[in-house]
A and B are shown apart, each in its own frame.
Chain A
Amino acid sequence: MRIRTLTALAFAACITGGVSLRAVGDDQSFAKIERGRYLAVAGDCSACHTVPGGKPFAGGAALETPFGALVGPNITPDVATGIGAWSEADFLRAMSEGIGKNGTRLYPAMPYPAYTKVTRDDASAIWAYLRTLEPVGNAVQSNQLLFPFNARRPATATWDLINFKPGVFEPDPAKSETWNRGAYLVEGLGHCGTCHTPKNITGGDRGDMVLQGALLQNWYAPDVTTDLRTGIGSWAVEEIVRYLKTGANSFDIASGPMAEAVENSTSHMTDADLLAIATYLKDSPPRNGPAVAALAGNDRRMVAGQAIYEDRCAACHVSSGAGAPTLFPRLAKAPLIQSDDPTSLIRVVLIGSRAGATAAAPTAPAMPAFGWNLNDAEVADVLTYIRNAWGNAAAPIQPASVATLRDRLQR
């Protein structure tokens, strides 16, 4: 296989007079490469394919799944360890069908169920860009799944049958161009659903719960539908754009995996694309979750939680839960605070968290860890309080949930 490629390249070199090997197979159009670079950023390819601080796209960033770890492979043009031996057609097929060179089925950690919607033109531009990267020799063992999930082919073939609908994005003629661009980015290249859409037992997206929030690597990627309580229904389009552009808006500050997504991807996107994403998200149907009533203020947990809140939290988030824009997230009427799944909340109280930093909002304030001086019941009470104060309403937190996550985070 390798020999054949080399021969083909050598032959190509002959006919072009040996000026440039790359000129033959690759389009050297600057505009195309530049567009590919932008699309690779918009698709946040580096999230999986670049280790922080490592060589770009040389692979190695691990994604922890319930089935074991999947590590982003090396996608630099290195022949031995990267995709230097791939053809453009191989790449396009991987993007649209989830099938790699030699016909191996890829794991859906490579979000081909979303990338299949990417136009051929765009995928080709990404390919043109990837070809310009410095080839890096870095062998990556990408499949670190546990038995039986490590037996790749048959399992993923079945998986595809259940979870994968191939096909390029089809614009909705009834909607605006901006809306369609947004839908294309959200459903396709941006692969927002990879984190934000709940999964079925096989790990595939639940089509009936698109973008309604899901758990991933001990973080809860929140509901981003227009639900008023748990989603982004109360955020104006401009606030969504600002969040994606800077990592912070009047309500919230990105942290955890979303901070990385903002730092590496959305903060580098054009305002027009961010507006498109926001327009599309704002037009999506709300989750319409079950109505939830706030706990009574005199509930034992509310009383205890409020006392802890005033002592430990109010200095920054202030007594009214209003926070301070771009510095201390707002808790009152905040979607994430009222999420069905409280994992992120418990997590940041236990071990703290640093917000993302962008050129426009470089502060990167951090939430300190309280796990060392609040016990499980105290963490549960203070969270129960903030989930049910100031007009918020959400299920109380059980000390056992805190204990479970505490244990998981220590491992």
Chain B
Amino acid sequence: MTRKLPATDVVIIGLGWTGSILAHELTGAGLNVVAIERGPWRDTATDFPPAFAQDELRYHIRHDLFLRPAQQTMTFRNNVNQTALPIRAWQGFMPGNGVGGGGLHWNAQTWRFNPTDFQLKTHLTQRYGSKFLPENMTIQDWGVTYDEIEPYYDKFEYLCGTSGKAGNLNGQKQAGGNPFEGPRSREYPTPPQRQPYAAVLFAQAAKELGYFPFPQPSGNLSQAYTNPLGVTLGACTFCGFCEWFGCGNYSKASPQTTILPALIRQPNFEARTNCEVVRINLDKSGKRATGVTYIDTSDQEWEQPADLVLLCAFQLFNVQLLLTSGIGKPYNPSRNEGVIGRNYSYQVTSNVDAFFDDKNFNPFISSGSIGMCIDEFNGDNFDHGPHGFVGGGYMGAVQTGGRPILTTRTPPGTPAWGAQWKKAVADNYLSSYETMVHASSYSYRDVYCDLDPTYTDRLGRKLMRITFDFHENELKMSQYLTDRLAEVVQKMGPRQIVKLPRTGPYTSTQYQTTHTCGGAVMGTDRSISAVNRYLQSWDVPNLFVMGATAFPQNAGYNPTDTVCALAYWAADAIVNQYLKNPGPLVQT
């Protein structure tokens, strides 16, 4: 039997990055907020203190901080002609679980998208003509501009204390920063991190080739910082156990190190952990959310009524909950109709490995967001005309660790095991380095999420099904970008390089990033978007959907700066527009 709880003003589903931001903004506006989180409460000193944080087996191999697929998973296939199978072990991407969400164990590479990324369709068709885009590519504009969300980027970066060097301050180019970035209203809150030897060499090589290298914007702080909420972070120690790990030193920006200490002081805030929301409830009209139903670990069902529902469960679970709750029209690729599940996208990464004879890189001295990068080949920073593809990415020397179990890079031709393998690992550990391209993933008509016809979860609900593969455009892009990167790496003077461009088909068994995007995208036309420019559901106006779910396609940058800027942008709209006049913020 479902037990009904007293109503609250706001219920938040998921207490990760976006949930924490919304909870703080809305409790600050005086609303009573209940956050419901699927995983446990997590805290630095008890869950990942320096006494045992650097445990690769526990955190990386055994996925200590991640969701267990037995609790929730999805099915996967490459195309509509295949039968999808359940993902029974996370490999391709790593869904977070527990307070802090992915924000707890991210790298904290904190990039803004380029201004043209937000008007991608318009921009590319204007520059290259509509015929230039592949026929079934479904990229679109966001309905919000870079200039509109710049203040919210700024707000998130000042919350985190992001370390970096501006390349464009109010339109003035700045030496040492990314000259291609959109204008920033002020400098980064803290200076860039110091760079390891390999990154310095990379930057030198890039300069010699006429590029403009700059330090990767980092949420691993270069120095101690107290944010506007009064919360203090320490300086990163370059421990090299960063992504997939929690930071034991309070040095990585996360909900725990930036917001939660202030949030938990709010008397109008409450968090319920180890509670999984199973559905968003609607009234009879189907146009109003009445709250959520969740289960605790004893399988007791609870109904939490609320005036406002904020879906902050990470891109994958946001889409899944919309589908299972029957909110919005599910996407149907054959009819090209519907919006929930439409325009799923991901990321296209590739590598160039370099082996040197005379170098010692001490790769264990690193952090999750360390590195020197160039942005010449991102977005539309270069003329795509001669190349026959669209999209791009940043590239650089960004090796984020030299951890003992998985840092076993060996030159081609090395046996995969045995004494020779061991010797090759030992010989190359200090003197090889990994460089990387982090590129865009545009959306296509036949790439989407829907409910699986076969497999159900432990509660009998249909699993969500992901249908995804790389397209010709992305593979061409990856080849081109990897070649450009290889030219820079070659200039560093290695004995040997190995180019690893992305090749198809996509496999969910190989990790690239956890940057899954789309599925309930934002926009101005409700026939091709699930939420309006304020992330408000077109169908259910008292529901807002956060996260990369809103990205119509993914750009060549990591998503979270944009995810959180949009969360602040939406929070502002809720507080200053919606609360004054609850209802649709954009009329159709």
Known: A359-B265, A362-B261. A312 touches B45 (CB 8 A): no
A8 at the interface (CB under 8 A from B): no
- Contacting chain B: which of A52-60, A124-132, A320-328, A336-344? A320-328
Nearest first, the 8 closest Cβ-Cβ pairs linking A and B are: A368-B49, A366-B45, A362-B261, A324-B224, A327-B232, A368-B45, A363-B232, A324-B234
In the bound complex, what is the Cα–Cα distance between A370 and B230 (angstroms)? 28
Whether B250 is near chain A, meaning CB under 8 Å from some CB there, is yes
A370 touches B248 (CB 8 A): no
Flag if B50 contacts A315 (CB, 8 Å). yes
| Cα(A232)–Cα(B43), bound, Å | 32
From the candidates B44, B46, B261, name the one contacting A357 in the complex (CB within 8 A).
B261
User: What residues make up the interface of B, taking CB atoms closer than 8 Å to A?
Assistant: 43-46, 49-52, 224, 226, 229-235, 237, 239, 248-250, 261-262, 265
In the assembled complex, the Cα of A206 lies from the Cα of B221 at a distance in Å of: 48
Determine whether the beta carbon of A316 is less than 8 Å from that of B51.
no
A373 to B50, CA, bound (A): 12
Q: Are B265 and A365 in contact (CB under 8 A)?
A: no
A312 touches B51 (CB 8 A): yes
A80: interface (CB < 8 Å): no
A312-B50, A357-B265, A368-B49 in contact; A327/B229 too (CB < 8 A)? Answer: no
> Does A303 have its Cβ within 8 Å of any Cβ on chain B?
no
**Nearest residue in A to B230 (C-beta to C-beta)?**
A362
> With contacts A316-B249, A327-B250 known, what are 8 further pairs, Cβ within 8 A?
A315-B50, A316-B50, A325-B224, A327-B224, A362-B230, A363-B250, A366-B43, A368-B50
B501 to chain A, nearest CB (A): 38
CA distance A352 to B52 in the complex (A): 14
A85 within 8 A of B: no
Is A409 engaged at the interface, CB distance under 8 Å to the other chain? no
A354 touches B248 (CB 8 A): no
- Closest-by-CB residue of B relative to A374 is B51
How distant is the Cα of A326 from the Cα of B234 in the complex, in angstroms? 10
Return chain A residues, CB-CB under 8 Å to B262: 362
The reply to whether B231 and A315 form a contact with Cβ atoms under 8 Å apart is no
Interchain CB contact under 8 A, A361 and B233: no
Q: What separation, in Å, do the CA atoms of A367 and B44 have in the docked complex? A: 9
Taking a contact as CB atoms under 8 Å apart, the answer to whether B45 and A326 are in contact is no
Inter-chain contact A315/B239, CB cutoff 8 Å: yes
State whether A366 touches B51 (Cβ < 8 A).
no
Query: In the assembly, what is the distance between CA of A324 and CA of B250, in Å?
Result: 11
In the bound complex, residues from chain A placing their C-beta under 8 Å from that of B249 are: 315-316
Whether A362 contacts B50 by the Cβ 8 Å rule is no
Q: How far is the CB of B43 from chain A (nearest CB, A)?
A: 7
Q: How many whole Å from A54's CB to the nearest CB in chain B?
A: 16
Q: Check if B261 sits within 8 Å of A364, measured CB to CB.
A: yes
Q: Can you show 25 pairs from A to B with CB atoms below 8 A apart?
A: A312-B51, A315-B239, A315-B249, A316-B234, A324-B232, A327-B224, A327-B233, A328-B234, A352-B45, A359-B230, A359-B265, A360-B230, A362-B261, A362-B265, A364-B261, A365-B45, A366-B43, A367-B45, A368-B45, A368-B50, A368-B51, A369-B49, A369-B51, A373-B51, A373-B52
Which residues on A sit within 8 Å (CB–CB) of B265? 357, 359, 362
Contact residue among A325, A357, A365, A373 (Cβ-Cβ distance under 8 Å from B250): A365
CA distance A363 to B234 in the complex (A): 11
A366 and B44 contact, CB distance less than 8 A: yes
Residue A362 contacts which of B52, B229, B248 (CB distance < 8 angstroms)?
B229
Question: Chain B residues near A326 (CB, 8 Å)?
Answer: 226, 232
Chain B nearest Cβ from A362, distance in angstroms: 4
Given A316-B249, A327-B250, does the pair A362, B231 have CB atoms closer than 8 Å?
Answer: yes
Let me know if A327 and B261 touch, CB within 8 A: no
Main secondary structure, interface of B, reads loop
Docked CA distance A190–B6 (Å): 42
Tell me, in angstroms, the Cα distance from A328 to B229 when the chains sit together: 18
CB-based nearest A residue for B233: A327
Q: In whole angstroms, how far apart are the Cα atoms of A248 and B246 in the complex? A: 25
Residues of A close to B46: CB separation below 8 A: 366, 368
Q: What's the minimum C-beta distance from B56 to chain A, rounded to whole angstroms?
A: 17
Using Cβ atoms and an 8 Å threshold, which residues of chain A touch B230? 359-363
Cα A327 to Cα B233 in complex, Å, equals: 7
- Chain A residue at minimum C-beta to C-beta distance from B50: A315
**Complex contacts, B250 vs chain A, CB 8 Å:** 316, 327, 363, 365
The SS class assigned to the A binding surface is loop
Q: In whole angstroms, how far apart are the Cα atoms of A359 and B250 in the complex?
A: 19
A327, A359, A369, A370: residue with the most chain B Cβ atoms closer than 10 Å: A327
Q: Which residues of A contact B51 (CB under 8 A)?
A: 312, 368-370, 373
Contact A327 B234 (CB under 8 A): yes
By a CB distance below 8 angstroms, the chain A residues around B235 are: 324
A 308-337 to B, binary, CB cutoff 8 A, 1 in contact else 0: 000010011000000011111000000000
A364 to B230, CA, bound (A): 11
**A361 contact set on B, CB distance < 8 A:** 230, 232
The CA-CA distance from A370 to B46 in the complex, in Å, is: 11
**Interchain nearest-CB distance for A53 vs B (Å):** 13
Complex Cα distance A369/B50, Å? 10
A353 → chain B closest CB, angstroms: 9
Chain A residue at minimal CB-CB distance from B262: A362
Query: With a CB–CB cut-off of 8 A, which chain B residues contact A328?
Result: 234
Cβ distance B497 to chain A, nearest Cβ, rounded Å? 35
**Chain A residues positioned under 8 Å from B232 (CB to CB):** 324-327, 361, 363, 365
Q: Which residue of B lies closest to A360 (CB)?
A: B230
Bound Cα distance from A370 to B226, whole angstroms: 27
Does B231 lie within 8 Å of A363, measured CB to CB? yes
Give the distance in Å from the alpha carbon of A312 to the alpha carbon of B265 in the complex: 31
Measured in the bound complex, the distance between the Cα atoms of B265 and A361 in whole Å is 11
Nearest B residue to A367 via CB reads: B45
Q: How far is the CA of A251 from the CA of B581 in the complex (A)?
A: 49
Which of B43, B44, B50, B237: most chain A Cβ within 10 A?
Answer: B50
A326 to B224, CA, bound (A): 10
Chain A residues with CB below 8 A from B45, complex form: 352, 354, 365-368
A19 to B196, CA, bound (A): 78
| Cα A361 to Cα B227 with chains together (Å) | 11
Return the contact of A363 from the options B50, B237, B248, B261 (Cβ within 8 A): B261
* Chain B residue with Cβ nearest A327: B232
How near does chain A come to B357, taking the closest CB pair, in angstroms?
Answer: 32
A324 / chain B contacts, CB cutoff of 8 Å? 224, 232, 234-235
Query: B226, A315: Cβ atoms under 8 Å?
Result: no
A368 to B53, CA, bound (A): 11
Residue numbers in B under 8 Å from A367 (CB-CB)? 45
Contact A315 B224 (CB under 8 A): no
Please state if A315 and B233 are interface contacts (CB–CB under 8 Å).
Answer: no
- Shortest CB-to-CB span from B159 to chain A, Å, is 13
Q: How far is the CB of B389 from chain A (nearest CB, A)?
A: 45
A352's nearest neighbour on chain B, judged by CB, is: B45
CA distance A361 to B229 in the complex (A): 9
Residues of B within 8 A of A316 (CB): 50, 234, 249-250
Closest to A370 in B: B51
A315 partner residues in chain B, CB cutoff 8 A: 50, 237, 239, 248-249
A221 to B233, CA, bound (A): 28
**Cα(A327)–Cα(B225), bound, Å:** 10
Residues of B within 8 A of A357 (CB): 261, 265
Give complex CA distance A352, B47 in Å: 13
Cβ contacts under 8 Å, A325 to chain B: 224, 232
Closest residue to B257 on the A side, CB-wise?
A363
Bound: A4/B229 CA distance, A: 55
Residues of B within 8 A of A360 (CB): 230
A354 to B234, CA, bound (A): 16
Separation in Å of the A360 CB from the closest CB of chain B? 6
Give chain A nearest CB distance to B277 CB in angstroms.
27
Q: How far is the CA of A361 from the CA of B234 in the complex (A)?
A: 14
Least CB distance, A408 to chain B, in whole angstroms: 22
In whole Å, how far is B282's beta carbon from the nearest beta carbon of chain A? 37
What residues on A are CB-neighbors of B234 within 8 Å?
316, 324, 327-328
Nearest-Cβ distance from residue A383 to partner chain B, whole angstroms: 16
B129 CB, min distance to chain A CBs, angstroms: 54
Alpha-carbon distance between A363 and B225 when the two chains are bound, in angstroms: 12
- C-alpha gap A327/B45 in the complex (Å): 13
